[in-house]
Amino acid sequence: MNQFKIPIGNAIEATIEFFVDHFSFATKAFAGIADNGISLMVSAMMFFPPWLLILVLSAIAWLLSRNRGITIFTMAGLALIWNLGLWAPTIDTLALVTIATLFSILIGVPLGILAALNNVFYRIVMPILDLMQTMPAFVYLIPAIPFFGLGPVAAIFATVIFSMPPAIRLTCLGIKQVPKELVEAADAFGSTKWQKLIKLQLPISTPTMMAGINQTIMLALSMVVIAAMIGAGGLGGEVWRAIQRLDPSKGFEAGLGIVIVAIVLDRIMQKLGGGSKKQQ
Amino acid sequence: MSEKIVVDNVYKIFGSHPEKILDLIDKGHTNEQILEETGHAVGVAGVSFTVEEGEILVVMGLSGSGKSTLVRCINRLIEPTAGKVIVDGVDVTQLTMDELLHFRQKHFGMVFQNFALFPHRTVLQNVAYGLEIQRVDPNTMRDKAMQALTQVGLKGWESNYPSQLSGGMQQRVGLARALALDADIMLMDEAFSALDPLIRRDMQDELLDLQERVQKTIVFISHDLDEAIKLGDRIVLMKDGRTVQVGTAEEILTNPANDYVARFVEEVDMTKIMTAESVMVKPSAIAYFKSDGPHAALRKMQKAGISSIFVRRDGKLIGMVTADDVAKIIKTDAKTLESILITGMQTVTRDTPAIELFPILAGINYPLAVVDDDGRLVGVIIKGSLLAGLAEGMQTGGAS
């Protein structure tokens, strides 16, 4: 076959190469610093004995959820992970998820607000989000490497891109769902756009935004696991190694660890989101 | 009295090229023709009137007559297509967005049909919203908000959330929110239409009381002619976005400008259209079959100064007891009202015409219960309330 092929791939490759040629010195330097930051965070968490950290995390679960079941599950689940000898990779995973989620929220929530308030931006950003969410997650790993090198920073980059859409989408949705009469009332009293946002739209859309952040965390966790392929380490790394050695016992143990982390994060975040709903 | 608000030839047309439609309206095309030919919807078409300082002006019309659009043109929640709105000599339509926000803060309090309270804020925070926007210092803000809450009789509820309040109380909060601003104009968009008839009447009375004290300039939107007559110093009658007649209730009733107004006014006529609902009052006390024994029932009657009391079970009216009977069984140690419960007494529904109530009331010596389709007690009619309600109806309707 010698047909003309539209050079989409070539164009993207050329673009990426251009950026790599001109910016990779900066992104590589950033990766170096970020790498240190992540190591610092991980070693800080590893500094404490596991049992102490388990207690602290359970206490946080209690404070955030006020739910006995979730607290007990957190304590028992983390203890099981420790017992299986997966403590260090779990901490790696938690650190990666935390950092990636923070970036996703910091970028995603403002973009969501902008999309809700500006129709032009909304029309531009929504198809991009559709694209970001349907593109297979693995694809993001490829360009991450030339910019950030193998390792956790590239993993975080890919994770942020993959996990940001729900934060944008649900922030936008939450604000658009604020009843028109309430917005009109705020207008009638002479509120500026900023006052309307801070005093009305954000507080009312909080439950929806929290649902978006919950999804972001779950996506970040799944992506961090996949990113083991480019050297992210953590529980995903254990699974990846088990695949290469065809070792089902290791694989399932690490998989169980991921499930426990996912359930703990999900339940706590859901409680957090539901908590502010009661006044409505 | 001086002119507070001048609405001068205001138009609002919804669509892609509203300016092009103005001509068509002036040439006498109807709204239907314009919608069919151009796809533009006419909201308000060349309305002019003035509002005097300290008066209640009711803008009245059926739904779709453009009255809600018109009131939003006054504070530019909806941008008028053409025309001027002058408040205190300032042309509101010429203000920049910043000036407009400031102008709204200083001059317009607004009350909405569906209350539009902020669900995430307490009652006090809701009332203080307008002041918060103006960055009033927290102490003054609190004082003014509390003062407004006291004015509407909601002192003690300030730390509740709106969802914990009944509809009538929620609208009081809405009213207090507008009052707290010290704005000189109140725009009230069907403020009482979402309330139960009994509560609506209470709120109307309270608004009139309040107006005696605060003397605001009020533009009140309503679809209810009775409400318009009761509240309005003057009434603007609208149809299809145009004014049909402007005048006092008296003028409109005695001298309707055209057939449309006349047909409207005919309906305000006395006993034919007065129903049980419009003359009933709230029962002053009710006994609950499950929880109230003879002692409690007697005490309730004594407190309310009545000689018989309706008894309710599971929300439904099941009968009544008289004070005499209760006094008898108190001596016998009875625990419930069962033995003396009078059942099967006559009841009427909300839409029973008032004219049919006279013979019923003449035959009984206790109040007449008004029940809904599910057998719930919604009000009672006593001879006095029926006569008073009718007298009110005669006064307004009798003039035509």
Give tens-digit pLDDT for B158-183. Answer: 999 999 998 889 999 999 999 998 88
- Residue B318: which domain range? 276-392
Q: What are the tokens at B387?
A: 């006569």
Taking the mean position of all CA atoms in its chain, how far away is CA B206?
Answer: 10
**Statement to judge: residues B197 and B299 lie in one domain:** no
**CA of A2, closest CA in chain B: separation in Å?**
52
Q: How confident is the model at residue A150 (pLDDT cuts 50, 70, 90)?
A: confident
What are the tens digits of pLDDT across the range A184-239? 999 999 999 999 999 999 999 999 999 999 999 999 999 988 998 888 888 999 99
**Residue B282 CA from chain centroid, whole number:** 17
Task: Give tens-digit pLDDT for B358-381.
Answer: 778 877 878 888 888 888 888 888
Q: Is residue A244 part of a domain?
A: yes
A280 falls within a domain: no
Q: Span B99-103, mean pLDDT? A: 93
pLDDT, tens digit, 9 for 90 and up, residues B290-324: 888 888 888 888 888 888 888 888 888 888 888 88
Domain span including residue A121? 16-275
Within a domain: B359: yes
Cross-chain residue pair B104–A190, CB shorter than 8 Å = yes
Please say which residue of B176, B207, B232 terminates a domain.
B232
- Predicted pLDDT at B71: 93
Is pLDDT above 80 for B263?
no
Residue B118 has pLDDT above 60, yes or no: yes
Pick from B345, B372, B338: which is nearest to B360 by CA?
B345
Q: What are the pLDDT digits (tens) for B218-241?
A: 999 998 888 888 898 999 999 889
- Chain B hits for A187, CB-CB cut-off 8 Å, are 77, 104
Say which of A184, A190, A279 has its CB closest to residue B116: A184
Q: Could you tell me the pLDDT band of residue A79, with boundaries at 50, 70 and 90?
A: very high
pLDDT at A137: 83
Q: Is residue B5 part of a domain?
A: no
Q: Is residue B400 part of a domain?
A: no
Task: Give the separation between CA B7 and CA B100, rounded to whole angstroms.
Answer: 17
What's the confidence (pLDDT) of residue A118? 93
Average pLDDT for A241-259? 92
Residue of B nearest to A278 (CA): B120
At residue B246, does pLDDT exceed 80?
Answer: yes
pLDDT, tens only, A11-55: 888 888 888 888 888 888 888 888 888 888 888 888 889 999 999
pLDDT of residue A115 exceeding 50, the answer is yes
**How far, in Å, are A170, A216, B47, B233, B375 from residue B221 at the CA level?**
37, 47, 15, 13, 34
Task: Show the beta-strand stretches assigned E in chain B.
Answer: 3-14, 41-52, 56-60, 82-87, 90-91, 108-111, 185-189, 217-222, 234-239, 242-247, 286-288, 308-313, 316-322, 347-348, 368-371, 377-381
Instruction: Give chain B's mean pLDDT.
Output: 86
Name which residue leads in pLDDT, B84 or B63.
B84
Of A181, A186, A189, the CB nearest to B114: A181
pLDDT band at B398 (very low <50, low <70, confident <90, very high): very low
Residues of A with CB under 8 A from a CB of B: 179, 181-182, 184-192, 195, 199-200, 203-204, 276, 279-280
- B141 membership: H or E segment, kind and range: helix B138-151
Q: Chain A: nearest CA to B158, how far in angstroms?
A: 15
Same structural domain, B287 and B228: no
B392 — pLDDT class (breaks 50, 70, 90): low
Co-location of B129 and B212 in the same domain: yes
The upper half-sphere exposure of residue B363, i.e. CA atoms within 13 Å in the direction of its Cβ, equals: 8
- CB within 8 Å of B111: residues ≥ 6 apart: B171, B174, B175, B177, B178, B186, B187, B188, B189, B191
d(CA B124, CA A147): 54
Q: To the nearest whole number, what is the mean pLDDT of chain A? A: 89
- Predicted local distance difference test score (pLDDT) of residue B391: 63
For residue A131, being part of any structural domain is answered with: yes
Residues in chain A: 280
User: Is there a domain that residue B36 lies in?
Assistant: no
Residue B390 has a pLDDT of 65
Residues B318, B190 within the same domain: no
CATH number of the domain within which A146 lies: 1.10.3720.10
Q: What is the pLDDT of residue B299?
A: 87
State both tokens at A49: 């004995």
| Closest Cα in chain A, distance from residue B254 (Å) | 37
Structural domain ending residue among the three candidates B168, B198, B232? B232
Q: What pLDDT, on a 0 to 100 scale, did the predictor assign at position A279?
A: 39
From B174, B203, B232, the end of a domain falls on: B232
> Which residues in B lie closer than 8 A to residue A208 (C-beta atoms)?
none
> Does residue B163 sit at the A interface (CB-CB below 8 Å)?
yes
Strand B82-87 versus strand B90-91 pairing type: antiparallel
Whether residue A136 contacts residue A74, with contact meaning beta carbons closer than 8 Å, is answered with no
**Pairing mode of beta strands B377-381, B234-239:** unpaired
Confidence of residue B198 (pLDDT cuts 50, 70, 90): confident
Cβ contacts (< 8 Å) between B114 and chain A: which residues? 181
Which of B75, B132, B163 lies at the smallest CB-CB distance from A188?
Answer: B75
To the nearest 10°, the Cα dihedral for B54, B58, B64, B65? Answer: -100
Is B286 touching A (CB cutoff 8 A)? no
CATH number at residue B285: 3.10.580.10
**B224 and B297 belong to one structural domain:** no
Q: Given a cut of 90, is residue B264 above it in pLDDT?
A: no
Residue of B nearest to A191 (CA): B133
- B276 within 8 A of B352, measured Cβ to Cβ: yes
The predicted model gives A124-138 an average pLDDT of: 89
Using 50, 70 and 90 to split pLDDT, how confident is the model at B389?
A: low
Residues B108 and B225 in one domain: yes
Which pLDDT value is given to residue A280? 37
Decide if A7 is inside a domain. Answer: no
Q: What does the alpha-carbon distance between residue A90 and residue A74 come to, in Å, rounded to a whole number?
A: 13
Does residue A241 form part of some domain? yes
Q: How far is CA A258 from CA A82, A111, B55, B92, B171, in A?
A: 13, 30, 70, 62, 52
B313 and B210 share one domain? no
CB-side neighbour CA atoms (13 Å) of B165: 26
ipTM of the modeled complex: 0.76
Dihedral over Cα of A152, A155, A161, A164: its sign: negative
Categorise residue A234: left if φ over 0, alpha if ψ from -120 to 50, beta otherwise: left
Q: Domain tally for chain B? A: 2
Encoded tokens for A80:
């099981």
Q: What is the pLDDT of residue B44?
A: 92
Test A192 with B163 for CB contact under 8 angstroms: no
User: Is B280 in the same domain as B384?
Assistant: yes
Number of other CB atoms surrounding residue B258 within 10 Å: 11
Among A184, A185, A192, beta carbon nearest to B101: A192
Chain A residues inside the 8 Å CB shell of B176: none
**How many domains does chain A divide into?**
1
Q: Nearest chain B Cα to A187, which residue?
A: B77
The reply to whether B108 touches chain A by the CB within 8 Å rule is: yes
Residue B18 lies in a domain: no
CATH number at residue B177: 3.40.50.300
Which of B384, B197, B223 minimizes the C-alpha distance to B275?
B197
